[in-house]
Chains A and B, each alone.
Chain A
Amino acid sequence: MEVNPLSIILVKSDSKGDRLLFRYPFYFLEKSEPANTKRRNPYTLPNLEDLLQSPTQPLSNINKGHLTGFTDEVLSSLFAVKSELCNKKFELKVNDVRFVGHPTLLQLRNKQQDASGLMLINVVFALQALASHSVVTCYHDLSKRIGIALRYEEKRCGYISEQTQTMTTAHDDGFVNNPDAAFQIILNKCTLASNIKKMYDDLCTSGIVNVQINKWITVSFCLPQKVHQWHLRGKIVEPKDIDRCLKALRPYHSLLLLHPMQQMGDFTNLDGSPSLERMLKQYSPIKNLQTLAADADLTLNHVFELTAHLVYWAKATVIFPICLTNKYVISPDAPIHLNSPLIDKFSESFPASNLIRVISDFALPTSLGQKCNPLCHPAQQSHLVQTIIWMLQHHLLLQLHTYIQYIPTDHGLAASRERDLRHRSLQRSVVLSSSYQPSASEHSRAESESGASTVSETPELRSELDLLNRSINLESVSFTSMEDEKQDYQEELLLDFPDEERGNIFKIPATNTPEDLRLFATLCRKGYFHGDHHIEEIMYLENLRRSQLLQLLDKFRDVLITYETEDPAIAMFSYS
């Protein structure tokens, strides 16, 4: 695994010179010693003729996942940087090992307040050189955090003075017999050394570091490239992927915890944010974020932030709330085969069911509504929902959405359109970001969309009334001649459409119905038909009913082409 550290090295440098105080793991070199027993004969003459052909040093400094080929003196001379490079990112690559750290200068507590009382502490992580730039950045961040904590602890109670003193003494005492024994003594005696050991073990197993420096300052850190491995094996999740997903977060999305609620207690303990706890109390995978915000009495933005936090720490993922109309399929790389451990895990949760039988129902796009008929027992239905949640938690299912593409002419958009398309898309993003602000009507709408909460009738009634009013108004405006009037309103509605497109649209019989044409023109102008919005999003933003929209799509199917695919914003957390 290229994101695991090869080694963690602690180096100090002060007025007495530089020294490698501790490194972990240290036992490997000891074991590999026998291999290097073939020493060079001290009596051989250096052969100058053969200089160019002389066997080059091994170009790899990694042996079975451990750092090798560097003596402690070399490492300490490399990491005890000059003062110009202090308090900055330190990155050095030697052959196939990359070292990253954050050299921190700190003022020793019991010394004079000048240059002689300064000490440089550098916690360096040795990584494989293949590790990506984002991994290096994350490790640098961790080293920086530790540096800050150590500087504070030194200021508070002279922690570093004491620890480095103990370590130096151990080295001086143990140097004669065996330097590795010195490391063992340090590990037993020094809390800082045991912190480093715990950090190494945490990084290699879970990717979540949680250490208490001097039993006082908590340093918690998450390596996203590693931590997401437990639920997405073999897929490296980069922080920028998570950022992209979180930028695409909408109020109608919903949170899906990957752990049972009981285990979340550990995560929110002690100094966890109280609002996080409040949100988790109200959590349900069938609530969307907006409802969740309302129930927990938090602002929507704060719920977004909390969601981002949970997603980053691999505690949750983002889905579209589970409702009857959601269509699911098996996700492309779902690791399902007879020997898959998931099969047993599934039977543990649902004793009477077989994962393969259950998931095979989703071979073709299937919605929850299709699977449960009206005669279905409520218990059966809840069992079904539970299995779907389980499969979503394990990223075995993918939700399909319907996207709409407006193609008015045979060759795509009219030529004049192409030019300002870019401009429009810019505007659209502005519209979208402003539509974030939740309003009362949106809220109730969203609630009814989640399907599981009882459908509230009011907003739909109101929207119907609105539409009725509008059409009545329209008819009452002019009642002169039907034909003229029809032409007029058509022209008026599609005035800003290019001639070519207008001609094609008017061939559609539904343009004779003012409501249909009006709705079509509105949605089209708002740019909903460019494949950026799925049906559910349009319903949410425009407060429409599914049937209304589907009817419209059917009536205008000559110019509106629909296709089904996954929501790219949230699909990154699936295997693909």
Chain B
Amino acid sequence: MAKMGYSCHNTDPNSDPNNQEGPIRCIFFCEFHPTAGPIISCQEPEQYISKELFDSISVYIITKAELQRSTITVTLSDYKILGFPVRIDDKKYPRNAYHFNLCLVCDSNVRTVHYEPVVMKLSDYLMATEIESSFLSDGGAATKLAPILKQVIQELNTKGECALTEGPTATHLKVVHIRSDPSPVADHQVPVFIKQLPNQQWDLTTQQVAPYIDGFNHVARIALLSDVENNLVKACVQNLVYYGVVALVPLFQYGNVYCTTPLLKALAHDVNLQNKCLKYVAVSQRQLPNFRDVFRMFAAMTRGTTIRDLCLRFNPSNLRVNERKLVQFGVLEGLIRRVHKYPILLSESADLQKSLSGAANLDEICCATGVTAQQLEDQLERDHNVVLLWK
């Protein structure tokens, strides 16, 4: 069932250039020299950070004792320098301590938060090598470090991960991209695959749940069908949402109401989107529907028009359109938006007011109480003290 063949362009909501990720421009190792003070002893590529520039910011790189083992990022007009100052106390060093810091340099307008764990781990790795074999302090650190730094910068920029296996200990570095936390999954939401489920050893819950994610079953139903506990299904779906494999759409019902958004304009202009849309909404791939009919159906979605009304007006099967897929495509691409009904009870009745306070929509109430939408709506229609807000 995982082959919905759907892929939506995963554009970052923060298209602001200041929030984008960028490559590592330079990586350098600096230490506190017993006579010369803070110096850069190895840099890759060489001479990227000038001596003058380094001197003006060395206070943020070889820091006071209180700031040891803190991730420190300095933003200059051209560069952003990320470091993690560390110190090893030992009598064998000229000043009884050895200070060093391994720093990454990026462009000043990109995010660097995701490199922080890498810098910390790399520092710990260097620290271990130093403690074991005085790798850094016994002179010639530059020649020994240069190939390592070169490997790190190249592999992190191209592959996003790097394995350092030479030397006394090994370490593995990986850039982990920070994504925003997925919102909690509700019972009435429907998961849809927007990508093929990556072929790998998934956990047992995902293995059991995935076959029932077909774009039409809601979470509570999936739990029932797959015989998995409801909260486990939610956790599993949330995990898949986090990795961008699954998107959540509202439950499809013929009584649902949708409205168009300003993005509908894009459908008329973007030929690629049109082709994708036609393939997605077609009843059969052999004969695709007319674009004009599809657009007309989207355009007819207004507040007060249910999908049932639309089907009566357009007869989608005649137009070779699958109305469920049509709605799904529209919601996923943001061309249309579900209009929910929020009942509010205006008379005094404490227990009913709790559920009919206007905070929960009909879907949520139906799912929580197990009443069908039609029954509930009929009941509410008859009660004059209940006001239905569509929004």
At the interface, yes or no: B391 with Cβ under 8 Å from chain A? yes
Interface string of A156-169 (1 = CB under 8 A from B): 00000000000000
Contact B295 A407 (CB under 8 A): yes
**A364-B304 in contact given A337-B357, A561-B296, A563-B298 (Cβ < 8 Å):** yes
Q: Are A356 and B292 in contact (CB under 8 A)?
A: no
Interface readout for B266-285 with A: 1 if CB under 8 Å, 0 if not? 00110100100000000000
Residues of chain A lying within 8 A (CB to CB) of residue B298:
563
**B59 at interface, CB cutoff 8 A:** yes
Return B235 CB to nearest CB of chain A, in Å.
25
Task: Write out, one digit per residue, whether chain B residues 247-273 have a CB within 8 A of any chain A CB (1) or not (0).
Answer: 000000000000111101100110100
**Is B292 a contact partner of A409 (Cβ separation < 8 A)?**
yes
Q: Provide the B377-391 mask, 1 if CB < 8 A to any CB of A, else 0.
A: 000000000011111
Residues of A within 8 A of B71 (CB): 59, 93-95
Find A133's partner among B18, B67, B299, B353 (CB 8 Å cutoff): B18
Residue from B59, B73, B387, B390 within 8 A of A364 (CB atoms): B390
Which of A48-56, A202-210, A344-352 is the contact stretch?
A48-56
Instruction: Report which of B18, B271, B357, B389 forms a contact with A339, defined as CB distance below 8 A.
Output: B357
List chain B residues, Cβ under 8 A from A39. Answer: none
- Known contacts A91-B74, A338-B344, A359-B389, A133 near B19 by CB under 8 Å: yes
Please report the C-alpha to C-alpha distance between residue A568 and residue B388 in the assembled complex, in whole angstroms.
26
Asked whether B262 lies within 8 Å of A568 as measured between CB atoms, the reply is yes
Contact B344 A356, beta carbon cutoff 8 Å: yes
A-chain residues with CB within 8 Å of residue B357 when the two chains form the complex: 337-339
Judged by a CB distance under 8 angstroms, whether A85 is at the interface is yes
A526 CB within 8 Å of chain B? no
Answer whether residue A89 sits at the interface, using C-beta atoms and an 8 A cutoff: yes
Q: Which of B353-382 contact A (CB under 8 A)?
A: 353, 357-359
Question: How far in angstroms is the closest Cβ of chain A from B135?
Answer: 15
Contact B69 A337 (CB under 8 A): no
Q: Which of B49-78 contact A (CB under 8 A)?
A: 52-53, 55-57, 59-60, 64, 66-77
Closest to B359 in A: A337
B89:A48 contact, CB within 8 angstroms: yes
Instruction: Check A66 for interface membership: any CB of B closer than 8 A.
Output: no
A52 x B128 contact (CB < 8 A): yes
Q: Are the CB atoms of A77 and B59 closer together than 8 Å?
A: yes
Asked whether any CB of chain A lies closer than 8 Å to the CB of B155, the reply is no
The verdict on B90 contacting chain A, using a C-beta distance below 8 Å, is yes
B262, A48: Cβ atoms closer than 8 Å:
no
Interface residues of A in 396-454 (CB under 8 A from B): 403, 405, 407, 409-412, 418, 421
Chain A: minimal CB distance from B57 (Å) = 7
A409 to B293, CA, bound (A): 10
B121 CB, min distance to chain A CBs, angstroms: 12
Q: Which residues of A contact B52 (CB under 8 A)?
A: 84
Query: Which residues of A sit under 8 angstroms from B265, Cβ to Cβ?
Result: 403, 405, 530-532
Q: Does A240 contact B (CB under 8 A)?
A: yes
Q: How far is the CA of A424 from the CA of B330 in the complex (A)?
A: 27
The residue that A51 contacts in the complex, of B88, B291, B296, B344, with Cβ under 8 A, is B88
A9 to B325, CA, bound (A): 57
For residue B269, which residues in chain A have a CB less than 8 angstroms away from its CB? 421, 530-531
Closest to A75 in B: B66
Binds B, one of A327-335, A466-474, A493-501: A327-335
The listed residue with most A CB atoms (<10 A of its CB), out of B64, B268, B290, is B268
**Beta-carbon contact of A46 and B89 below 8 Å:** yes
Q: When A78-B59, A409-B292, A410-B290 are in contact, do A334 and B19 touch as well, CB less than 8 Å?
A: no
Q: Are A405 and B72 in contact (CB under 8 A)?
A: no
Query: B302 on the interface (CB 8 Å rule)?
Result: yes
CB contacts (< 8 Å) of B345 on chain A: these are 338
Q: Is the CB of B264 within 8 A of A531?
A: yes
Q: Does A74 have its Cβ within 8 Å of any Cβ on chain B? A: yes
**A116: CB under 8 A from chain B?**
no
Residue in chain A with minimal CB distance to B89: A46
Q: Is A551 an interface residue (CB 8 A)?
A: no
A57 smallest CB distance to B (angstroms): 5
A380-410 Cβ-contact flags toward B at 8 Å (1 or 0): 0000000000000000000000010101011
Q: Is the CB of A365 within 8 A of B303?
A: yes
Flag whether A43 is at the interface (Cβ < 8 A). no
Query: Which residues on the A side are within 8 Å of B90 (C-beta)?
Result: 48
Contacts A132-B19, A133-B18 hold; do A531 and B268 have CB atoms under 8 A apart?
Answer: yes
**A75-94 interface (Cβ within 8 A of B):** 77-78, 81-85, 88-89, 91-94
Residues of B close to A88: CB separation below 8 A: 77
Say whether A273 faces chain B, with CB atoms less than 8 Å apart: no
If A89-B77, A330-B389, A356-B387 touch, whether A71 touches B60 (CB-CB below 8 Å) is no
Task: Kindly state whether residue A363 has any CB partner on chain B within 8 Å.
Answer: yes
Q: What is the bound-complex CA distance between A405 and B271, given in angstroms?
A: 15
Q: B214 at the A/B interface (Cβ < 8 Å)?
A: no
B346 pairs with A354, CB closer than 8 A: yes
Task: Tell me if B64 and A82 are in contact (CB < 8 A).
Answer: no
Contact in complex: A92, B391 (CB < 8 Å): no
Give Cα A329–Cα B295 distance, bound, in whole angstroms. 23
Question: What 8 A-B pairs are tightest by C-beta distance, nearest first?
Answer: A337-B358, A531-B265, A563-B299, A91-B75, A93-B73, A133-B18, A84-B56, A568-B262
| Interface residues in chain A, defined as those with a beta carbon under 8 Å from any beta carbon in chain B | 46, 48, 51-52, 56-57, 59, 69-71, 73-74, 77-78, 81-85, 88-89, 91-95, 129, 132-134, 240, 329-334, 336-340, 354, 356-357, 359-360, 363-365, 403, 405, 407, 409-412, 418, 421, 530-532, 561-568, 571
Give me 19 other A-B pairs in contact (C-beta within 8 A), A565-B259, A568-B262 excluded: A48-B90, A73-B64, A89-B77, A94-B71, A240-B16, A329-B303, A332-B391, A334-B391, A336-B389, A338-B358, A359-B389, A365-B303, A407-B292, A412-B274, A561-B296, A561-B299, A563-B264, A564-B260, A571-B262
